[in-house]
């Protein structure tokens, strides 16, 4: 029986063989990605979570020196965290997915490595990094005397997972387009600046005039931020939150990215 099982596992036509081969390819891509991006050492991956924390720290210093008060709640640190973590998660995951094919194009010379392997390997790394950032932020806020506990844990988890879905979906589309037109990486980076400014990380969307709030609500990241804050503040009454829009945008982007990759796969491989 053992010999039969081994023979089936070694059969190139078996599902088990295909799964094992795909797992090995993904592991190799992830390890290479970690070494080439993070100072040629796997432990350098831990430093990626420092950048969002440094971003938040700089903003807190600016607001403290300017004498600004928190737009909502009692803690400016918690207000920034509930806005910046969803926004920066989207920005980091999608941006580095957009660059993944360009940075790892030599790996496409290996027949077993596909475009989707590189995209999903980078998505896996960035999602792990984002989760680690959330954990570090939680510990830091707790040590500073804040209470970083959401009012509704389920809603907070769903908001974060929806943000991940959005980031991976948009990153998939951006990654395929960047593989075809390298200059699109710069275009997308500029677009992320607009997304950041209009996402409501530093202010309350519902406090704006209704026409401006409605215009900003077309940005799907706004809904990730509003969803997260609604999970932390029981009195946070969002006038623009649309969970279905966020989920539909994320799923639609993911399906579009997968379809686009399939359509241009040959062109992408010929450009390796």
Select from 191, 176, 185 the least CA-distant residue to 221.
Answer: 191
The neighbour count for residue 53, using CB atoms within 10 Å, is 16
What is the C-alpha separation between 153 and 162, in angstroms, rounded? 14
| Confidence (pLDDT) at 224 | 95
Select from 84, 22, 75 the least CA-distant residue to 52.
Answer: 84
The continuous run of DSSP H or E covering 13 comes out as none
What is the C-alpha separation between 238 and 151, in angstroms, rounded? 15
Q: CA distances (Å), 87 to each of 58, 92, 185, in order?
A: 16, 9, 19
In the chain, where does DSSP find H-type helix? 2-10, 15-37, 50-66, 76-103, 115-143, 153-180, 184-198, 210-216, 220-232, 243-263, 265-270
| Confidence (pLDDT) at 18 | 67
Q: Cβ contacts of residue 32 below 8 Å, gap of 6+? A: 104, 107
Cβ–Cβ under 8 Å, residues 66 and 138: no
Exposure string for 186-221, b = 16+ CB within 10 A, e = fewer: eebeeebeebbebbbbbebbbebeeeebeebbebbb
Q: Cβ contacts of residue 161 below 8 Å, gap of 6+? A: none
The neighbour count for residue 134, using CB atoms within 10 Å, is 19
- Phi-psi bin for 113: left (phi > 0), alpha (psi -120 to 50), beta? beta
Select from 114, 221, 211, 243 the least CA-distant residue to 169.
Answer: 221
Tokens of 257: 């990215």
| Confidence (pLDDT) at 194 | 93
Q: pLDDT tens digits for the chain (272 residues)?
A: 444 444 444 555 567 766 777 777 777 777 777 766 666 555 566 667 777 788 888 887 887 787 778 888 788 889 989 999 999 999 999 998 998 888 877 777 777 778 888 888 888 888 888 888 899 888 888 888 888 889 999 999 999 999 999 999 999 999 999 988 889 999 999 999 999 999 988 888 988 898 999 999 999 999 999 999 999 998 888 889 999 999 999 999 999 999 998 888 777 666 55
């Amino acid at each position: 029986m053992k010999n039969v099982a081994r023979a089936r596992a070694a059969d190139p036509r078996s599902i088990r063989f295909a799964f094992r081969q795909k797992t090995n390819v993904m592991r190799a891509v992830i390890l290479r990605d970690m070494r080439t991006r993070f100072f040629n050492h796997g432990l350098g991956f831990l430093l990626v979570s420092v950048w969002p924390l440094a971003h938040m720290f700089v903003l807190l210093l600016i607001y403290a020196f300017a004498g600004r008060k928190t737009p909502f709640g009692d803690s400016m640190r918690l207000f920034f965290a509930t806005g910046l973590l969803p926004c920066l998660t989207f920005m980091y995951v999608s941006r580095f997915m957009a660059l993944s094919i360009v940075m790892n194009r030599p790996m496409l010379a290996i027949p077993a490595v596909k475009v989707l392997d590189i995209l999903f390997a980078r998505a896996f790394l960035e999602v792990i990094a984002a989760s680690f950032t959330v954990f570090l932020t939680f510990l830091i806020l707790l040590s500073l005397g804040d209470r970083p506990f959401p009012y509704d844990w389920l809603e907070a988890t769903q908001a974060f997972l929806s943000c991940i879905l959005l980031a991976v979906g948009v990153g998939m589309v951006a990654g395929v387009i960047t593989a075809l037109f390298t200059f699109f990486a710069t275009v997308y980076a500029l677009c992320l600046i607009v997304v950041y400014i209009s996402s409501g990380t530093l202010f309350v969307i519902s406090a704006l005039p209704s026409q401006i709030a409605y215009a900003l609500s077309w940005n799907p990241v706004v809904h990730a931020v509003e969803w997260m804050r609604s999970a932390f503040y029981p009195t946070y009454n969002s006038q623009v939150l649309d969970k279905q829009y966020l989920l539909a945008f994320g799923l639609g982007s993911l399906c579009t990215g997968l379809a686009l990759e399939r359509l241009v796969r040959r062109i992408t491989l010929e450009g390796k």
